[in-house]
A and B are shown apart, each in its own frame.
Chain A
Amino acid sequence: MRSASYFRLMVLHVMVVTLLLVLIGRLWTLQVMNGAHYKQVAAENRTRDIVVPALRGQILDDVGRPLVRNRSALVVSVDSKAMARQRDGGRAVLHRLAGVLGTTYNDLALKTRLCAPGIKRPCWPGSPYQPIPIDDHVDIKRALQIMERQEEFPGVIAQVQAVRDYPKTEGATAVQALGYLQPITQEEMDRRKGIKVTGYSRVDLVGRDGLEAVYDADLRGEPGIRRLMVDSQGRVTGTAREEPARPGDHLVTSIDAKVQGAVERAIGKAVDDMRKQGKKAEAAAGVVLDVKTGRVIALASLPTYDPAVWTGGITQSEYDALLGKGQGEPLISRATQGQFAPGSTFKISSVAAAVRDGYSLNGIYDCPGSYNVGSRAFTNFEGQGHGPMDLHKALVVSCDTIFYRFAYEEWLRDGGIHPVPKPKDPMPAMARTFGFGRPTGIDLPSESAGRIPDRTWKKDYWEATKQENCRAAKSGYPELERTDPSRASFLKQMAAENCVDGYILRAGDAANFSVGQGDVLVTPLQLARAYAAVANGGKLVVPRLARAVVRQDGTVVREIEPPAQRRLPVDPKVITYMQKALAEVPTKGTAAGAFSGFDFKKVAVAGKTGTAEVYGKDDTAWFASYAPANDPRLAVVVMVTQSATGGAVAAPAVREIYETIYGLNGKKAVWPGGKPPARLPKPRRDGTFAAP
């Protein structure tokens, strides 16, 4: 052999051995050094986890009637894997499906494509192994077309799925208290560690408001996981592991559907009547509280909306409409989030404050038509004078001037416009002990605090508005000048005063406060609680809607007890005195007209009307009450904004509510014995607790 060939053959020897050694080296790193890693990757490769959504628990009323339950909905979904396997990628099937569902191919194609970087919504953000829901309010006829002609619709699934249902039991919607569900956001997922989500947008709903939000963890249950074995094509070859979903627990509330329905009807009627009379009657609220326990029997708010809007995925425009002012912001619960001047209903706090400050409980005070607070005359309602009277009568006929005097004198004792170092401020202090000015602590989100316009608030408010006031003090109100010169000059003067010393609590502020006017604001729930405190002898309850979390089979997971009650710093004698006075309001006082012909022998009602003036608007009507007057059990408050007097608008609504509760209108009483049930409802054989 030639030497060159021999040498080159030797080189080939070396090359072959080198190449083999390279392969062996690579094999070693892959299999021995990284074997564990690839074993894990391989295991993930072979299985696909499918999340089985959990059935959400129901929200039940005090006897087990559903307020929110689940209903089966026909959901049409598309299996993207099956589509991809089709010759045309499922194009023909989607075209046919669009025809049946009455939509366009483009719409379906966009909905069924998988989200990826660079693909904007609409697209499917979930797992490609999860059927992609296309439409979840399909009627049975269309669904049957799809199910019966499966050969025409390969990869299209029409299946029954649970969606939230609102049966409106006894006419009770309670939408603001119950809340609603919305798809979970990334922030919510981050905030609530350990929350199991499916990645299935229509299933990963989370309570966004009301009880649905507060008790979300109890209601939602835990989704199960089905680990499927798949081959390289994603075809399912078997089930490796199945962890069934744990359905959510039911929430038993103290809401009674019948009472709730009655409250909603009563305030609805009050609003309708007022609107017929040309008033705006923009909002209304109704609260029924158990005065002994603090349990909420009814919580209603107007304007309202149909909760069915949440089912089947709300569109962004529908959602925006609910949030906007166009429909009166129906998502806001006026009962717990609305803040209104309480008017004369506030006088229970003022009486307690005056007596505590040294005014005699049994003293006689003059009730002139007008009382001068400093240089300004403060008048009674419609300027009427009633002559000398005791505090009892002052409450019954709702005299204001007596309270103006108390407030003015107290204000003077505190140093007037040059306050003493530690002013006593008896009225704001007592209002606070009645629970005004801070949230009641009810088990609902975003409760309002109301407002006690004390010296601190005045100062803060002054600082916040100083710039604007000082500007107006200089330039005045040129536009208003043309139309209403006297008003403009008054406002300019006010602005000038406020600019300089707006932080000072003035005599007028103190006087207004004593009758629930001016800057004081309360929520209807706060007022109901204050009356409950008077009714139960001076204990401030913490309201609770939820009574218990129970399993689907009725086993009690946990009972929800209202937090400890706080005792008011009010002499029991004063409480008893006020009780007697309030009991005469519906019989002889400002609510006598509304309660004329009421069967007081069966149930005595005690209460107080309130008619709060709102600048530039019609009055806010209030009636705050409790019953039975001799052995109080329930507190009922109704409020209607921009309407008329409490006696004319709110008291009749309260009367209707009592008539329903105690069966005075010929119907059966809501509860035998007139007391809310003490025991939790038990499930019936079919799994439901009570008929809706």
Chain B
Amino acid sequence: MISSHLQRPPWWRKASALRRLDWTLIFAVLALSVIGALLVWSATRVGPIGLPRDPHAFLKRHLLNLLIGFALGALVSVLDYRLLRAYAPFLYALSCIGLIAVLSPLGDTINGSHSWIVLGGGFQVQPSEFGKVGLVILLAMLLGEPRDGEEGPGYRDILLGLALAALPAVLIMLQPDLGTTLVFGAVVMGMLAISGAPKRWMAGLVGAAAFAGFAVWWFGFLKPYQIARFTAFANPAADPRGAGYNAQQARIAVGSGGFSGKGLFNGEQTAGHFVPEQQTDFIFTVAGEELGFVGALVILVLLGIVLWHGLRIASQAMDLFGTLVASGVVCWLAFQTFENVGMTLGIMPITGLPLPFLSYGGSATFANMIALGLLQAVHLRSHNV
């Protein structure tokens, strides 16, 4: 093997790198992106009455976002991910600065969350999305230090990792963005577990999380609308016009799709804008209504392929850092997928989280594509490419 690859011309080495990409992963993401673009189009094609605008505005912007996202992903995948280790503190600092900026007067409030920095010209950035990338790389650096003879990270590494993860988490909580905070928690837990952290640490963290959840509820840190969302989750019929509205309408839209769906662009619930945020957080309702069980299943299977391949990349990585980067990405995407689809189907409380690779939204698309790029980067270097 070694001799043969030494004899290859340099262009072949490059081409072989291209060949060694995880193409299944790429095609799955591509398929999801195409489906997502169609769903975004369907969700925004018919605008609310009385607002004259370009019916394809959302679609055009989304396609542009996807294009930029793929470019970013490609860029990240050709990087030697090990270099990221050096950049990790810088990326982390950058994302924290972004999150602080959001809370400053630079930030803007959309849907009750102070999560955006408006750049002008209709562009806006949601730093918390990039914060996920920063978190994954930072934790991978801290917990994936090469160690000899030790089964897992020492308590110093763990405490440092927790402390550093807590800063952006708190900043995001202040926006307030409960969904992304929960993603942070899932990523921290997942990466700690994979890094081999002692069981007692894991148990302690689970206990601390439960206690924190209780404290948040007990001391009323949650906004009334957030509590209402949780209550609505428990009993959506209690207040169908208020907090339960989203949950109820989402269920109706998905349920009315039936086995085979009403056909793309034929969803009446979608056309009537019954589900708020149906192009972003509730994009899955469009899939459910228009593509039916069959279409929704295809989407879930495609997302499953992405996650499965991510896990395979994690287990085949050449070093712990690579494993942790890949598994961090998987935890992030898996939690976000489950939470998003789950809230659409009424088995999870409603939080503002986009569905990876499908929802409309620039920052999320870029972050997801960067995550895809990280997976490819780890994959490319797992066999000494």
Establish whether residues B151 and A41, one from each chain, have CB atoms under 8 Å apart when the complex forms.
no
Q: A31-B255, A42-B268 are in contact. Are A4 and B196 (CB under 8 A)?
A: yes
Interface residue A37 (Cβ < 8 Å from any Cβ of B)? yes
User: How far is B231's CA from A169's CA once the two chains are assembled, in angstroms?
Assistant: 64
Residues of chain B within 8 A (CB-CB) of A15 are 334
Q: How far is the CB of B194 from chain A (nearest CB, A)?
A: 5
Size of B's binding interface in residues, CB under 8 A: 54
Q: Using a Cβ cutoff of 8 Å, how many contacts connect chains A and B?
A: 149
User: How far is B345's CA from A125's CA once the two chains are assembled, in angstroms?
Assistant: 34
Q: A41-B252, A46-B268 are in contact. Are A31 and B276 (CB under 8 A)?
A: no
User: How far is B79's CA from A283's CA once the two chains are assembled, in angstroms?
Assistant: 107
Q: Mark A417-448, 1 if CB is under 8 A from B, else 0.
A: 00000000000000000000000000000000
Interface residue A308 (Cβ < 8 Å from any Cβ of B)? no
Our pick among A2, A31, A37 for the contact of B288 (Cβ within 8 Å) is A31
Q: How far is the CB of A568 from chain B (nearest CB, A)?
A: 69
Establish whether residues B341 and A23, one from each chain, have CB atoms under 8 Å apart when the complex forms.
yes
Q: Which residues 151-166 of B sit at the A interface, judged by CB distance below 8 A?
A: 151-152
Our pick among B272, B297, B327 for the contact of A9 (Cβ within 8 Å) is B327
Q: Mark B312-331, 1 if CB is under 8 A from A, else 0.
A: 00110000100100010011
Name the residue of chain A whose CB is nearest to the CB of B331. A12
Interface residue B1 (Cβ < 8 Å from any Cβ of A)? no
Our pick among B195, B296, B303 for the contact of A27 (Cβ within 8 Å) is B296
Q: How far is the CB of B168 from chain A (nearest CB, A)?
A: 23
Our pick among B252, B271, B273, B347 for the contact of A22 (Cβ within 8 Å) is B347
Q: How far is the CB of B328 from chain A (nearest CB, A)?
A: 11
Q: A1-B315, A23-B341, A232-B249 are in contact. Are A12 and B330 (CB under 8 A)?
A: yes
Name the residue of chain B whose CB is nearest to the CB of A31. B293
Q: Which residues 215-241 of A sit at the B interface, judged by CB distance below 8 A?
A: 229-233, 235, 237
User: How far is B272's CA from A235's CA once the two chains are assembled, in angstroms?
Assistant: 9
Q: A26-B347, A31-B292 are in contact. Are A20 and B49 (CB under 8 A)?
A: no
Residues of chain A within 8 A (CB-CB) of B338 are 19-20, 22-23
Name the residue of chain A whose CB is nearest to the CB of B276. A232
User: How far is B320's CA from A24's CA once the two chains are assembled, in angstroms?
Assistant: 33
Q: Which residues 22-68 of A sit at the B interface, judged by CB distance below 8 A?
A: 22-24, 26-28, 30-32, 34-39, 41-42, 45-46
Establish whether residues B49 and A231, one from each chain, have CB atoms under 8 Å apart when the complex forms.
yes
Interface residue B207 (Cβ < 8 Å from any Cβ of A)? no
Interface residue B193 (Cβ < 8 Å from any Cβ of A)? yes
Residues of chain B within 8 A (CB-CB) of A231 are 48-49, 271-274
Q: Mark B325-362, 1 if CB is under 8 A from A, else 0.
A: 00100110010011001100111000000000000000
Interface residue B363 (Cβ < 8 Å from any Cβ of A)? no
Establish whether residues A26 and B273, one from each chain, have CB atoms under 8 Å apart when the complex forms.
no
Q: How far is the CB of A9 from chain B (nearest CB, A)?
A: 5
Interface residue B217 (Cβ < 8 Å from any Cβ of A)? no
Interface of B is mostly: helix
**Segment at the A interface, from B21-29, B111-119, B132-140, B256-264:** B256-264
Interface residue A317 (Cβ < 8 Å from any Cβ of B)? no
Interface hub of A8, A15, A17, A37 (most chain B Cβ within 10 A): A8
Name the residue of chain A whose CB is nearest to the CB of B315. A9
Interface residue A483 (Cβ < 8 Å from any Cβ of B)? no
Establish whether residues A12 and B311, one from each chain, have CB atoms under 8 Å apart when the complex forms.
yes
Name the residue of chain B whose CB is nearest to the CB of A37. B255
Q: How far is the CB of A248 from chain B (nearest CB, A)?
A: 36
User: How far is B289's CA from A46's CA once the two chains are assembled, in angstroms?
Assistant: 14
Interface residue B372 (Cβ < 8 Å from any Cβ of A)? no
Q: How far is the CB of A13 from chain B (nearest CB, A)?
A: 5
Establish whether residues A35 and B307, one from each chain, have CB atoms under 8 Å apart when the complex forms.
no
Establish whether residues B194 and A12, one from each chain, have CB atoms under 8 Å apart when the complex forms.
yes
Interface residue A5 (Cβ < 8 Å from any Cβ of B)? yes
Residues of chain B within 8 A (CB-CB) of A38 are 251-252, 254-256
User: How far is B259's CA from A443's CA once the two chains are assembled, in angstroms?
Assistant: 60
Q: Interface size for chain A: under 10, 10 to 19, 20 to 34, or 35 or more residues?
A: 35 or more
User: How far is B337's CA from A258's CA once the two chains are assembled, in angstroms?
Assistant: 83
Interface residue B211 (Cβ < 8 Å from any Cβ of A)? no
Our pick among A4, A24, A41 for the contact of B256 (Cβ within 8 Å) is A41
User: How far is B201's CA from A546's CA once the two chains are assembled, in angstroms?
Assistant: 93
Our pick among A6, A11, A31, A34 for the contact of B296 (Cβ within 8 Å) is A31
User: How far is B190's CA from A11's CA once the two chains are assembled, in angstroms?
Assistant: 10
Q: How far is the CB of A276 from chain B (nearest CB, A)?
A: 66
User: How far is B324's CA from A486's CA once the two chains are assembled, in angstroms?
Assistant: 119
Our pick among B194, B258, B271, B346 for the contact of A35 (Cβ within 8 Å) is B258
Interface residue A16 (Cβ < 8 Å from any Cβ of B)? yes
Interface of A is mostly: helix
User: How far is B152's CA from A46's CA once the two chains are assembled, in angstroms?
Assistant: 57
User: How far is B326's CA from A484's CA once the two chains are assembled, in angstroms?
Assistant: 115
Interface residue B88 (Cβ < 8 Å from any Cβ of A)? no
Q: How far is the CB of B342 from chain A (nearest CB, A)?
A: 7
User: How far is B323's CA from A12's CA once the two chains are assembled, in angstroms?
Assistant: 13
Establish whether residues B251 and A237, one from each chain, have CB atoms under 8 Å apart when the complex forms.
no
Q: A20-B303, A22-B347 are in contact. Are A5 and B255 (CB under 8 A)?
A: no
Residues of chain B within 8 A (CB-CB) of A22 are 338, 342, 347
Q: How far is the CB of A23 from chain B (nearest CB, A)?
A: 5
Name the residue of chain A whose CB is nearest to the CB of B144. A5
Interface residue B253 (Cβ < 8 Å from any Cβ of A)? yes
Our pick among A2, A8, A16 for the contact of B304 (Cβ within 8 Å) is A16
Our pick among A24, A35, A229, A237 for the contact of B257 (Cβ within 8 Å) is A35
Interface residue B308 (Cβ < 8 Å from any Cβ of A)? yes
Interface residue B269 (Cβ < 8 Å from any Cβ of A)? yes
User: How far is B193's CA from A351's CA once the two chains are assembled, in angstroms?
Assistant: 116
Establish whether residues B304 and A20, one from each chain, have CB atoms under 8 Å apart when the complex forms.
yes
User: How far is B327's CA from A15's CA once the two chains are assembled, in angstroms?
Assistant: 13
Q: Which residues 475-498 of A sit at the B interface, judged by CB distance below 8 A?
A: none
Establish whether residues B194 and A5, one from each chain, have CB atoms under 8 Å apart when the complex forms.
yes
Q: How far is the CB of B227 from chain A (nearest CB, A)?
A: 21
Interface residue B72 (Cβ < 8 Å from any Cβ of A)? no
Establish whether residues B152 and A4, one from each chain, have CB atoms under 8 Å apart when the complex forms.
yes
Interface residue B94 (Cβ < 8 Å from any Cβ of A)? no
Our pick among B50, B190, B254, B288 for the contact of A12 (Cβ within 8 Å) is B190
Q: How far is the CB of A166 from chain B (nearest CB, A)?
A: 43
Establish whether residues B255 and A232, one from each chain, have CB atoms under 8 Å apart when the complex forms.
no
Establish whether residues A27 and B345, one from each chain, have CB atoms under 8 Å apart when the complex forms.
yes
Establish whether residues A8 and B193, one from each chain, have CB atoms under 8 Å apart when the complex forms.
yes
Name the residue of chain A whose CB is nearest to the CB of B254. A30
Our pick among A2, A19, A42, A233 for the contact of B334 (Cβ within 8 Å) is A19
Residues of chain B within 8 A (CB-CB) of A12 are 190, 193-194, 311, 327, 330-331
Residues of chain B within 8 A (CB-CB) of A37 are 255
Q: How far is the CB of A30 from chain B (nearest CB, A)?
A: 5
Establish whether residues B252 and A42, one from each chain, have CB atoms under 8 Å apart when the complex forms.
yes
Residues of chain A within 8 A (CB-CB) of B297 are 24, 27
Binding site for A on B (CB under 8 A): 48-50, 151-152, 190, 193-196, 249, 251-259, 268-269, 271-276, 288, 292-293, 296-297, 300, 303-304, 307-308, 311, 314-315, 320, 323, 327, 330-331, 334, 337-338, 341-342, 345-347
Which 7 A/B pairs are nearest by Cβ-Cβ distance? A38-B255, A35-B258, A42-B256, A232-B274, A231-B272, A31-B293, A4-B196
Q: Other than the known A35-B255, A35-B256, what 17 A-B pairs have Cβ atoms closer than 8 Å?
A: A11-B193, A19-B338, A26-B342, A27-B254, A27-B297, A30-B254, A31-B255, A32-B259, A37-B255, A41-B255, A42-B252, A42-B256, A45-B252, A231-B272, A231-B274, A237-B49, A237-B272
Complex A-B: 11 CB contacts under 8 Å:
A1-B323, A2-B196, A9-B311, A23-B341, A27-B296, A30-B251, A30-B345, A31-B258, A31-B288, A31-B292, A31-B296
Binding site for B on A (CB under 8 A): 1-2, 4-6, 8-9, 11-13, 15-17, 19-20, 22-24, 26-28, 30-32, 34-39, 41-42, 45-46, 229-233, 235, 237
